[in-house]
Structure 1
Amino acid sequence: MFSPQGPSLRELATQALSSVERGYDLLAPKFDHTPFRTPDGILDATADALRPLGPFGPGLDVCCGTGAGARVLESLCQGRITGVDFSAGMLARARGAHPDAAWVRADVRALPFTEAFDLAVSFGALGHFLPAERPALFAGVYRALRPGGLFALPISSPQPVTSGLYWALLGFDLAMRARNAVWRPPFVMYYRTCGLRAVGDDLTASGFTVTMVPLTALGRRADGSPRCGLVLARKAPDAPMS
């Protein structure tokens, strides 16, 4: 599917009936040939929005997958780049593409870093976490950042109910909930559980100061609103040392 180099429907079905970790291990060799890989346009727009806020020292890609976010960090960070993910298969692909970066296998709900980074990014991963899991994720990112550090993540604006994409995403989430109700292990991936307001509230509760800038390079809707925004979560410069 998707391209001649992408996974077949059978391979996708096998992945969807696996755990999240095992599913991504299976998909890793062909992941970059699917629509699930963060598009270059989003990566480039994020880098352009962050560039005036830098330069940065060491950078962290949270839920790095095959390493697409490394191109953002490499263009912004003067220190070493680190990616963290729990899929060994995805990390192997990232390591092959960016051998100079550090690639760490870990559960991002318990990040093994303390005040090590100036910038953290994450692309397209929030749907893999239930709302109740986000506080642990964000607390770990907060702990991993140095005082004054920045956590940036692009989030698409809500789809209007008249949009075909609204109904497609709703249908996908309902299908995943039905799958997880009858099949184990669960595969957590929901598109409609990580809205801007909910994510902002969780980041604020974790200690961040949260703002958002529109990624206008990605276009606007008919009403003039941006299609995507970049959430900027800042750790206070005077935050006490962990």
Structure 2
Amino acid sequence: MFSPQGPSLRELCVQAFSSVERGYDLLAPKFDHTPFRTPDSYLGASADALSELGPFDRGLDVCCGTGAGLMVLKSVCRAGITGVDFSAGMLEQARSAQPDATWVQADARALPFSEHFDLAVSFGALGHFLPTERPALFEGVYRALRPGGIFAFPIGAPPPLTSTAHWATLGFDLAMRVRNAVWRPPFVMYYRTSPLPAVRDDLTAAGFTVTTPALTVLGQRRDGSPRCRLILARKPTDPH
């Protein structure tokens, strides 16, 4: 499915009826051949925007998956870079692709770091956290950053009501809600549970100062608004 190197429909069904961790362990060897991997255009646009704010020293990729986001960290960080994910399968793939990075298996809702990083990034992971779980995620990233550190991630504008993407994401989320209502363990993956205003409010509540510059290179919607923004959540230099 998706490409000759990607997972089959049967493999996707098995993964979808597993837990999130087990599902990604199964998907890991073929993950980079699916549309679920963050496109290089988003990674490149994020790296270009962050290059204007850096360089940084230590970088952290939160929910790193197979390590695609490490290319962003490598381009803007001059010291060590670290990826954290709770899927051993995804980390195995990431380690083989980026052997010089540090890899940590941990739940992003309980990150095991304290004031160690100058930059944290995350790509395509918010849909794996229910709205009630975002505060723990953001508070953990806040603790992991040094004063003045930045947490950055792209967030797309919602697709227009008349677009295929709108109905596709709506249908996907409804299907996942039905699946999680009738099947255990749950598989948390939703496209429509992290709107920009709610994400910004949760980051602010965690202590960050938030700005949302447009990633103009990724284009505009018909109304002239940007297709994608880069969330820049900065930890104050004097957080106390």
TM bracket (short chain): over 0.9
Q: State the Cα deviation string for residues 175-232 of structure 1 (Å, max 9, x = none).
A: 0000000000000001000010000000000000000011111111111111111000
Instruction: Give distance in 2, aligned partners of 1:103 and 1:124.
Output: 18
Question: How many residue pairs were aligned?
Answer: 240
SS in 2 for 1:53: coil
- Identity among equivalent positions (%) equals 76
Q: Shift of the alpha carbon at 1:79? A: 1.1
Aligned residue number for residue 235 of structure 1:
235
- Name the structure 1 match of 2:34: 34
Structure 1 residues 36-75: aligned runs within 5 Å: 36-75=36-75
Structure 1 position 145 matched with structure 2 position 134: no
- 5+ residue gaps, structure 1, are none
One-letter amino acid of the counterpart of residue 30, structure 1: K
- What is the aligned partner in structure 1 of residue 81 from structure 2? 81
Q: 2:203: which partner in 1?
A: 203
Note if 1:224 corresponds to 2:224: yes
CA distance in 1, matches of 2:181, 2:220: 37
**C-alpha deviation, 1:93, in angstroms:** 0.4
1:117-145, CA deviations, whole angstroms, 9 ceiling, x for partnerless residues?
00000000000000000000000000000
The residue that corresponds to 1:167 in the other structure is 167
> What is residue 99 of structure 1 aligned with on the other side?
99
Equivalent residue for 1:4? 4
- What is the root-mean-square deviation of aligned Cα atoms in Å? 0.6
Tell me the equivalent position of 1:115: 115
2:130 is aligned to: 130
How far apart, CA to CA, are the structure 2 residues paired with 1:81 and 1:208? Answer: 22
Per the alignment, residue 215 of structure 1 pairs with 215
- Separation in 2, partners of 1:238, 1:133: 26
Q: Secondary structure at the match of 2:176?
A: helix
Q: Extract unaligned runs of 5+ from structure 2.
A: none
Paired with 2:236 and 2:206, the residues of 1 have a C-alpha distance of 12
User: For each residue in 1:73-126, what CA deviation from the matched residue of structure 2 results, as whole angstroms up to 9, or x when unmatched?
Assistant: 000001100000000000000000000000000001000000000000000000
Distance 2:31 2:165 in 1: 22
CA distance in 2, matches of 1:171, 1:2: 19
| Counterpart secondary structure, 2:32 | helix
TM-score, structure 1 as length reference:
0.98
Deviations 1:5-62 (A, max 9, x none): 0000000000000000000000000000000011100000000011110010000000
2: CA distance, partners of 1:171 / 1:34: 19
Q: Distance in 1 between matches of 2:100 and 2:18?
A: 31
Q: Distance in 1 between matches of 2:5 and 2:219?
A: 29
Counterparts of 1:181 and 1:233 in 2: how far apart (Å)?
A: 34
Letter in 2 for 1:197: P
**TM-score, normalisation: structure 2:** 0.99
